């Protein structure tokens, strides 16, 4: 790629050189981060046309298999709309803050995501404390002691979540249901605000209208209401949950990704670079997902709009050779990662299996007795 001359980039950093301050790294990307209101409207309009078109196909086509295909595609488009809403929530979609909030809410509707709760959990907690155990809750790994203390049923759930087959269940249960749908004041503590309830009511109302429209269409066309609700609502939502669980798992789970349980060590690790993975895909699949997998650039500077992430990610990788985790996606890599990344040992700073055996490079030396104790079977 030929970089723009106005970027005035310095020489790429040597892998052994100290990492510059985040403000300096952001300054490399600022010339690329301009936001465009017309582009934001074009993206959200296109994806809503696709969504409603696929819903119409679910209702109108005769073949159940074609209905199912349209339903699955609708789930993917829900993911695309969510990514647009995610940008609105980061104030990176347009230059207008109020417009971003409303476009974000509108784009979040099909994924049934409460805007203000996502803002709190994602922008404040996840981005503010990425991979800091006890604060960041997104795919936070358990220690072996925590795993041993779980009830038998909770251990089964953890094994399913970490099996490679359970990302959708993880997202639906542990994030969406637990934290995004009417969380209690006790759960939210001092962070509770009335807008959380209003946003939950908004997405719940959209879900009821969506289901009611499918039931009405079933009666109008002489079809089974149960079948249309299954294909027009349940299947797209299940696809969306799995897509979202997979994406956030891929963003922050890798044998080279570190977690920390001490804030000082976490700060020294400069986690905006070291805790994210750039997953690459064939056939322009990354572009179909609005470039959300160019994730390092997003964590370095949340103000970069989705339509600039590819270019800014390339700048980062040019300037920081060897520092960014770049992983070409394959199902073999994915399931190898799922087998390796079960629990995390903060003493040895490595991933382990459920028996405590190290499955990634040890980043801290510990006495042999401590290593043996950590690997003792559950």
| Count of CB atoms situated within 10 Å of the CB of 159 | 13
CB atoms within 10 A of CB 304: 26
Distance (Å, rounded) from C-alpha 235 to C-alpha 11? 50
Dihedral of CA atoms 131, 133, 136, 137 in degrees, nearest 10, equals: 120
Torsion of Cα atoms, 180 then 185 then 188 then 190, to 10°: 150
Q: Which two three-digit tokens encode residue 368?
A: 């042999």
φ/ψ of 173, rounded to 5, equals -85, -50
pLDDT at 2: 43
CA quadruple 315, 320, 325, 328: dihedral positive or negative? positive
CA dist 81 and 170 (Å) reads 21
Torsion of CA 167, 171, 172, 177, to 10 degrees: 160
Q: CA torsion angle for 118, 119, 123, 125 (degrees, to 10)?
A: -70
User: Going residue by residue through the chain (378 aa), what tens digit of pLDDT does each one get?
Assistant: 444 445 577 788 888 888 888 888 888 888 788 889 999 999 999 999 999 999 999 999 999 999 999 999 999 999 999 999 999 999 999 999 999 999 999 999 999 999 999 999 998 889 889 999 999 999 999 999 999 999 999 999 999 999 999 999 999 999 999 999 998 777 777 788 889 999 999 999 999 999 999 999 999 999 999 999 999 999 999 999 999 999 999 998 999 999 999 988 888 877 778 788 999 998 888 899 999 999 898 888 888 999 999 999 998 888 888 888 999 999 999 999 999 999 999 999 999 999 999 999 887 655 544 444 444 544
What distance in Å separates the CA atoms of residue 94 and residue 101, rounded to the nearest whole number? 10
Please tell me the number of Cα atoms within 13 Å of 205 on its side-chain side.
8
For the chain, counts of helices (H) and of strands (E): 19, 4
User: In angstroms, rounded to a whole number, what is the distance separating the alpha carbons of residues 256 and 326?
Assistant: 10
To 10 degrees, the CA torsion angle through 186, 191, 192, 197?
-120
Rounded to two decimals, what is the model's pTM? 0.90
Distance in angstroms (rounded) separating the CA atoms of residues 205 and 114:
12
Whole-number pLDDT of residue 26: 85
First to last CA, the chain: 51
SS3 state of residue 337: helix
Q: Provide the residue count of the chain.
A: 378
């Amino acid at each position: 790629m030929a970089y723009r001359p106005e970027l005035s980039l310095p020489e790429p950093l040597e892998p052994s050189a100290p990492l510059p301050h985040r403000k300096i790294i952001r300054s490399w990307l600022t010339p690329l981060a301009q936001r465009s209101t017309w582009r934001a409207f074009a993206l959200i309009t296109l994806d809503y046309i696709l969504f409603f078109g696929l819903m119409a196909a679910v209702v109108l086509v005769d073949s159940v298999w074609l209905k199912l295909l349209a339903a699955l595609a609708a789930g993917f488009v829900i993911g695309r709309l969510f990514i647009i809403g995610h940008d609105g929530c980061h104030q990176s979609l347009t230059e207008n803050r109020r417009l971003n909030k409303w476009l974000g809410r509108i784009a979040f509707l099909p994924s049934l995501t409460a805007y203000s709760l996502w803002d709190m959990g994602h922008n404040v907690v996840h981005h503010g404390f990425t991979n800091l155990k006890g604060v960041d809750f997104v795919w936070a790994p358990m220690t072996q002691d925590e795993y041993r203390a779980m009830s038998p049923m909770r251990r089964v759930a953890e094994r399913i979540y970490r099996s490679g087959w359970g990302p959708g269940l993880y997202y639906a249960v542990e994030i969406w249901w637990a934290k995004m749908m009417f969380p209690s004041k006790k759960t939210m503590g001092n962070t509770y605000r009335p807008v959380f309830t209003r946003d939950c009511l908004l997405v719940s109302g959209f879900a009821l209208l969506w289901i009611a429209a499918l039931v009405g269409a079933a009666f109008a066309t002489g079809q089974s209401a149960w079948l249309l609700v299954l294909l027009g609502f349940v299947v797209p939502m299940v696809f969306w949950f799995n897509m979202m669980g997979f994406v956030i798992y891929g963003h922050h789970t890798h044998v080279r990704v570190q977690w920390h349980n001490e804030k000082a060590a976490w700060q020294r690790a400069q986690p905006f670079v070291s805790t994210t993975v750039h997953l690459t895909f064939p056939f322009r699949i990354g572009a179909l997902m609005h470039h959300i997998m160019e994730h390092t650039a997003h964590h370095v500077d949340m103000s970069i709009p989705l339509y600039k992430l590819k270019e800014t990610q390339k700048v980062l990788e040019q300037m920081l050779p060897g520092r960014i985790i770049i992983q070409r996606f394959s199902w073999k890599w994915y399931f190898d990662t799922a087998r390796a990344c079960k629990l995390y040992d903060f003493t040895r700073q490595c991933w382990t299996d459920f028996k405590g055996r190290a499955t990634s490079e040890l980043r801290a030396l510990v006495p042999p007795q401590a290593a043996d104790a950590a690997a003792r079977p559950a």
